[in-house]
Amino acid sequence: MKDIIISTQFSVFESVQELPNDIQNLMGQAVEVRKNAYAPYSKFRVGTALLLDNGKIVLGSNQENAAFPSGLCAERVAVFQAGSIYPEAKILKMAITAASDTNQTTAPIPPCGSCRQSIAEYEIKQESPIEIYFMGEIGAVYKSESLKNLLPFMFDKRFL
């Protein structure tokens, strides 16, 4: 037997104001689109903004459904929209913010497992990492240089 040691690294910004200006703008758009979330069941609203290599910004917010799990998370709404509208573009950066209608979220909220798998598909497809910034409603922002930090054992087309 042998052990495998996996190490990940994240940068931590104490607030949105510490982020570079372009990321502050991207996160600001994620905050705005978070308001469009349809979250009558969870009361948990998520907004995502993607910066593409063609300069376009694509937005997404979570969309719930009474026939659970028919809804979609904000990250997948944005990623799938980018793939549909700009299929040749690469996703350079992703900003994610989450807020609850019932209590203030102060801890950074990372993508769920399904979203991680979907982001991984695009990172592998484009053969370049996606910078991911995530936060709660207020407080610190975490930055990952790649989805690989969040999902070190990715399942992808190599296994098919």
Coil vs helix vs strand at 28: helix
Residue 42's pLDDT band (boundaries 50, 70, 90)? very high
Q: Which residue has the tokens 């948990």?
A: 44
Residue 68's pLDDT band (boundaries 50, 70, 90)? confident
- What was the pLDDT predicted at 51? 98
Domain boundaries along the sequence of the chain: 20-154
- What was the pLDDT predicted at 154? 87
- Quote the mean pLDDT of the chain: 96
Residue 156 pLDDT > 90, yes or no? no
Buried-exposed string 106-129: b where 16+ CB fall within 10 A, e elsewhere: eebbbbeeebbbbbbbbbeeeeeb
Q: How far, in Å, CA of 80 to CA of 61, rounded?
A: 12
- What was the pLDDT predicted at 104? 96
Active-site choice (14, 32, 64, 75) = 75
pLDDT in tens, 78-100: 999 999 999 999 999 999 999 99
pTM of the model: 0.95
CATH superfamily of domain region 20-154? Cytidine Deaminase, domain 2 (3.40.140.10)
75 is catalytic: yes
